[in-house]
Structure 1
Amino acid sequence: MARLGGGRTDSGLVTLDEAAADAVSRVQPVSGTMKLPLAEADGHVLADAVIAPLDLPPFANSAVDGYAVRFADLAPGAATRLPVLGRTMAGEPSALLEQGAWRIFTGAPVPEGADTIVMQEDAVAGDGAVMLPAGIRRGANLRLAGEDVARGHEVLPAGRRLRPQDLGLLAALGLGEVTVRRRPRVALFSTGDELTEPGRPLGPGAIYDANRAMLRAMLARAGAEVVDLGILRDEAKDLEQQLRDASAGSDLVITSGGVSVGEADHVRDAVLACGTLDLWRVAIKPGKPIAIGSVAGTPFVGLPGNPVAVFVGFAFVARPLLARLAGEAYVPPRAHPIRLGFAHARKPGRREFLRVSLEQGVDGSVVARRHPGEGAGSLASLAQSDGLIVLAEDVARVEAGDSAPFLPYAELL
């Protein structure tokens, strides 16, 4: 089980970067590896670097359908007529070419002695011979052995979260299985007497638990094994024991709701009763009340109750912590500058995330339009937008036409 180190409690706001770095610094990657077939390895984290066991491609082959020739046999500055001596298709053994031309197809091994491939579209064949145009470049359309990957070279580093293209590369190298890290086990629950499980009748004053559904999916996309503990009620006497139970056998505990300062927000007190609270309030909007600490020695992240704040808090605090637990070589989300189609004024001091949709402007360039649902409780604003505009802590105002950093949701999920 992963453990947090010694903590600190900060009564003031900490910056988002400080909060994320502090959380990451307190955990170590989980132990344990396993071998998986490639068909099951997508999204898992490589335990060891992969060294190419062979050249890729393993032999010189043709990039096109055409004719293999020796460049020295082509007349300089003029067309050349050569006899066609044979043919090789993909999957057939290589041949020997001492002179003349050899009919060849895409992917077929190049005959020994040939060093140039002429595309069939540029050649005129007939009567057992082929006319080749002038101006052919030496080595044209020839794929050399090892030009993509050289045997013995590292092709994927340890800590890489495997993607479909990575699996394709491993398959091309003939690897049927790969050694990956164990996935972090995350205990997840929501708190709130007002919450109802989706699919059940909704009582007076009740709302459906949307946060847990969103977090389950975000955790799964981040490569976690999710233990869904459902909805816990705001009963102070029960929460401490429930937190202890959740920590047993888990590498991380994540909750939603109950970490603010309301009379019914008991998660914070329950954490302090059975663990530590290292950070509590973060200088971001939305999502200021984020609790980071430990419960019975297991890392703990308490996210706010508002859905947009949950999304932001997970993406920028819990996600890098989870990557560290997973042993992932994590790359923070990369923002791209984009032109704003709106003005916005605010009080500086917190990093703010604005939900926007991308549209094509009148001049053909892409413009970010702010979603009308501005509240931290607006799930529609997340579902109906394309990403987040990031306003740094010292920014007081932006105008339409200004450029601002944009984070597409694809960078966060």
Structure 2
Amino acid sequence: MSTETAAAAEVVALPPAGWEEARSRVYAVGLAAALPAVSRPLADADGHTLAEPLTPRTDLPAFPTSSVDGWAVRGDGPWQVVGRVLAGHTPPPLEADGTTVEIATGAMVPEGTTAILRIEESTRTADGRVAGTPRPAPEWREPGEEAYAGEELLPAGTPVDPAVLGLAASCGHDTLRVRRRPRAALLVFGDELLTSGPPGAGRVRDALGPSVPAWLRRYGCQVRPADVVGPVADTLPAHVAALRAALADADLVCTTGGTMHGPVDHLHPTLEALGADYVVNTVAVRPGFPMLLARLVDDDGRVRFVAGLPGNPQSAVVALVSLVAPLLAGLQGRPMPVLPQVTLAEPVPGRGDYTHLALVRWDRVAGTAHPVRHVGSAMLRGLSGADGFAVIRPGTSGAAGDRVPVVPLPLTPGERSW
């Protein structure tokens, strides 16, 4: 037996990792290799991840702020008008009882103000004074009403979205310390694949080359068109050269196919040639069993990862949600994804000693999950109408009414499901 054959036999003999164990393991190695923090202007921070807590630079609001258009009054009325206060200005104090200034929403409340009278609830007397009855509750926001300077508003690990950007701006920040987005690449393996036109004559259309980069972007990665390579020739030298080139710039390289040990499955010997260590090699999950994640560490300590996705399209997506999503959460310094619970609307079979990830439509209003049809590992029709995967644990089956975890699919860019 050759050295390569013996190594392959040893790899095959290792038991697959449990699905939940695999998720935890890849998240931990991702977090240990979390990408460095960088400063980004607010305009460039969308889609990144906070590398440090978000805190206000001042109290919010920083000064007493009128919440209505009206009259800032001192003492009892009617009041003599002595000026006007607009937003963006620092007003002089109201020094005498019986005086008022017109005030706009958002304007700084003058020192000495005892109440604000809404404009629509005021009248003018014959001599030009303002009359009316202020409401008993103050009509302005006190300093620190929303937050105090230095208070933690969002923890490190929070994904940056438009709401976070707006909050950061209101806190007085011009830049944010964030984890940069992971750089990803895709290598498509398989001489039998077509990249255009309909399938036929023993060849099938590559469905993963167009779709995997889109999934990766939804998980926060940067993937350029030039980062998608393939089909790579079914030879070991071609695989080694393609993977080495992809790893030069990428934090994560995904590959499709070649995760078993068939006559043209060269991923395992390629990883061995490049000195990679397995984090996970096969997972006890159906579909998608022959998935893997490997790690390479340069002499300078730089860590990169290779995710081997099965060649069947739905199995590849199972590998993405099982291994790639938790890995990327760790790399970005985000919390380990917590799976929501749903109620099965129909029975879902188990897969013996394997975790079953079953495609479902998720009715978020009712909190129920409905299995979809056309869910073979080589099929994509069911996936196109699904919202996620119901998790049926080993040794169990899902009955209608059972509460089970669900792995949501990131159906829109930046969605916070993961």
TM-score clears 0.5: yes
Matched, 1:23 2:34: no
Match of 1:169 in 2: 167
Distance, in Å, in 2 between the alignment partners of 1:179 and 1:238 is: 40
Matched AA of 1:53: R
Q: 1:47 to 1:236 in 2, by over 3 A?
A: same
Match of 2:316 in 1: 310
User: Pairwise mapping of residues 277-296 of structure 1 onto structure 2 (< 5 A)?
Assistant: 277-294=278-295
Matched AA of 1:245: A
Offset of 1:120 from its aligned partner?
Answer: 4.1
Offset of 1:42 from its aligned partner?
Answer: 0.7
Matched, 1:205 2:202: yes
Distance, in Å, in 1 between the alignment partners of 2:87 and 2:362 is: 46
Distance, in Å, in 2 between the alignment partners of 1:384 and 1:204 is: 29
Offset of 1:263 from its aligned partner?
Answer: 3.5
Matched, 1:68 2:78: no
TM-score by length of 2: 0.81
Q: 1:349 to 1:82 in 2, by over 3 A?
A: farther
Aligned partner of 1:330 among 327, 332, 335: 335
Matched, 1:92 2:94: no
Structure 1 residue runs without a partner (length 5+): 1-7, 75-79
Q: Deviations over 1:230-284 (max 9, x none)?
A: 3213223432333333333433322111113444333233323433344322122
Q: 1:356 to 1:201 in 2, by over 3 A?
A: closer
For these two proteins, the number of residue pairs brought into alignment is 388
TM-score by length of 1: 0.82
User: Pairwise mapping of residues 223-302 of structure 1 onto structure 2 (< 5 A)?
Assistant: 223-226=220-223, 227-275=227-275, 276-294=277-295, 298-302=304-308
Distance, in Å, in 2 between the alignment partners of 1:56 and 1:144 is: 8
Matched AA of 1:269: P
Match of 2:43 in 1: 39
Distance, in Å, in 1 between the alignment partners of 2:282 and 2:33 is: 25
Distance, in Å, in 2 between the alignment partners of 1:46 and 1:366 is: 31
- Identity among equivalent positions (%) equals 32
Q: Deviations over 1:6-57 (max 9, x none)?
A: xx96711211222123234445436655432211111123344444322222
Structure 2 residue runs without a partner (length 5+): 1-9, 299-303, 411-415
Cα contact 1:87–1:103 (8 A) shared by 2: yes
Cα contact 1:95–1:110 (8 A) shared by 2: no
Query: What is the Cα-based RMSD across aligned positions, in Å?
Result: 3.0
